[in-house]
Every structure is written in C-alpha cells, then in structure tokens.
C-alpha cells in the first residue's frame, strides 16, 4: 500500500483526469488498487471516482469487473484535442496538384468550429494567416466551415461581423443566404473579402457522407478568379483522393 493519508490530490476534477491518464498509461485491465497505488490516493476515493467515470463511460470495466480500460466517451475529447495527421501520402497528393497548377494551393483543417492551416503552399505562403483564422465569414475556407457547422456550434458564432475589407459580408442574412448556396454548390468562394485584390476557391474534403473536415483552397489575384474556377474540377478530384488519406 503506497497510500499516504492526506494526499488525495488537489481536486476531484484533476484527480479524475489523473485516473484516466493512469489507465491509459498502465493499459487495459488496470485495477482500482493499481490506480490507487500509482496515484497515492485513498482506495475509497479511487473507487468512488472510477465508478463516477464508469458511469459516464469514460472508463469501462473488463469482463471480470476488476480491471478498467478507456471508454468510448473519451473519444470525443481525444479526437477534438488531436488534429488528424497529414500523412506523407496526403502531402504528396497535394504536391502533385500544386505542380499541375499556377495558383497557390493550401490545405486548411476544419475542427471544432475553428480553422487550422495544415499545409501552406511553400512557394506562395498565405499572407493573411491571422485574418483567415479570426474572421471565418471573410474567407472561402471559413465560409465553408460556417456552412457545415452543426446546430450546436452555431450560437458560438454570434456577434457583429467585422469588416475586414470593403467587400466583406457584414450583413448576417446575406451571409446566411450565401452559406445555403455554398452547401448546395459544394464549394465556397471569396473575392476581395479577406484581402483587396485577392480571391480564393475552397473545396470540401470529406469522406463520403462524412462531415467536412478540411478545405482545399486555391487562391490567386481577383482578376484571375475565372481561371481559378476552371481548376475547380481538378481540385475536387484531389480533395476526394485526399479525404481517405487524412481521416
């Protein structure tokens, strides 16, 4: 018994996280006793907490009821906290598309109602990185994300729409209308909305019937926007190939 009385940790919340971590570290079949020894916590406290975690299905019991394993409820936490790995195969797929293309190509991940630049074009890096992430209503990738947000995430995006350039959509109903169009067309565009003189086309990257998890963006000067749009079909083919390589 490695338990020292009076050392049952700082708080219930952090203790439960430490218990989860211990089970993850010690592996399937870790017993309450092993957790109690590893964390120097009172056995009764550990029993109470593991049962609470089992109740919420963060932990599950093995068939003999003695041991614990990580339950499906932490899948949500882990999936949200860890970005998908952009494999070499995925990067070379993007690279192949770039070589057949005169316009900069970026891959932007859409996760938990936020954007993350996963693969920036090495030759023409994104100029407005901060703005892309901060003002989703002003960029093609951002609008693609907004268009596919589920209902539960929508309330978080209330508030006034900032005017990044003169062309940024600041009227919510106009934006809502455009989001519907984006869902129908399966692609999002942005012309002078994030940066004067620059425009972008974003295509969704998703598994068949899966949620949109990334945007493949083709950007370029606004006067060349029609030329960018001509590349849409090729980009869509790449996006379809990319999805199974990433997710």
The residue ranges that bind other proteins (CB under 8 A) are 27-33, 43-44, 47, 51, 54-57, 60-67, 69-72, 74-75, 78
Please say which residue, 5 or 55, places its beta carbon nearer to other proteins: 55
**Alpha-carbon distance 39 to 20, whole Å?**
11
Q: Could you tell me if 129 and 117 are in contact, meaning their C-beta atoms sit under 8 angstroms apart?
A: yes
- Cβ atoms within 10 A of the Cβ of 80, count? 10
Looking at the DSSP bridge assignments, the partners of residue 219 are 200
Q: State the nearest-atom distance from the C-beta of 28 to other proteins, in Å.
A: 5
**Alpha-carbon distance 168 to 50, whole Å?**
51
**Alpha-carbon distance 39 to 243, whole Å?**
41
Please say which residue, 27 or 100, places its beta carbon nearer to other proteins: 27
Please say which residue, 51 or 92, places its beta carbon nearer to other proteins: 51
- Cβ atoms within 10 A of the Cβ of 7, count? 10
Please say which residue, 12 or 75, places its beta carbon nearer to other proteins: 75
- β-pairing, 114-119 vs 105-111, is antiparallel
Give the list of residues 6+ apart from residue 21 with CB closer than 8 angstroms, or none: none
Please say which residue, 63 or 184, places its beta carbon nearer to other proteins: 63
3-state secondary structure of 181: helix
Give the containing element (helix H, strand E) for 106.
strand 105-111
- The CA distances from residue 20 to 6, 9, 26, 35, 67, in Å, are 21, 14, 10, 9, 13
Please say which residue, 70 or 164, places its beta carbon nearer to other proteins: 70
Please say which residue, 59 or 140, places its beta carbon nearer to other proteins: 59
Q: State the nearest-atom distance from the C-beta of 143 to other proteins, in Å.
A: 30
3-state secondary structure of 141: helix
Q: Could you tell me if 224 and 69 are in contact, meaning their C-beta atoms sit under 8 angstroms apart?
A: no
């Amino acid at each position: 018994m490695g338990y020292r009385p009076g050392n049952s940790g700082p708080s219930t919340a952090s203790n439960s996280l430490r218990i989860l971590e211990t089970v993850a570290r010690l592996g399937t079949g870790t017993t309450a006793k092993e957790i109690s020894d590893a964390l120097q916590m009172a056995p009764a406290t550990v029993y109470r907490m593991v049962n609470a975690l089992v109740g919420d299905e963060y932990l599950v019991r093995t068939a003999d009821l003695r041991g614990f394993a990580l339950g499906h409820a932490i899948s949500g936490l882990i999936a949200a906290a860890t970005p998908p790995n952009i494999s070499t195969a995925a990067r070379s797929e993007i690279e192949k598309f770039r070589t057949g293309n005169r316009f900069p190509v970026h891959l932007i991940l859409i996760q938990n109602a936020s954007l993350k630049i996963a693969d920036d074009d090495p030759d023409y890096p994104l100029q407005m990185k901060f703005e892309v992430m901060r003002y989703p209503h002003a960029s093609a990738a951002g609008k693609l994300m907004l268009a596919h947000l589920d209902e539960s995430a929508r309330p978080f995006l209330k508030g006034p729409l900032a005017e990044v350039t003169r062309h940024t959509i600041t009227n919510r109903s106009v934006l809502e209308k455009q989001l519907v169009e984006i869902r129908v067309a399966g692609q999002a565009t942005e012309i002078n909305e994030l940066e004067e003189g620059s425009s972008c086309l974003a295509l969704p990257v998703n598994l068949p019937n899966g949620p949109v998890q990334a945007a493949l963006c083709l950007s370029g000067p606004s006067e060349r926007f029609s030329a960018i749009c001509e590349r849409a079909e090729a980009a869509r083919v790449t996006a379809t190939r990319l999805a199974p390589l990433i997710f």
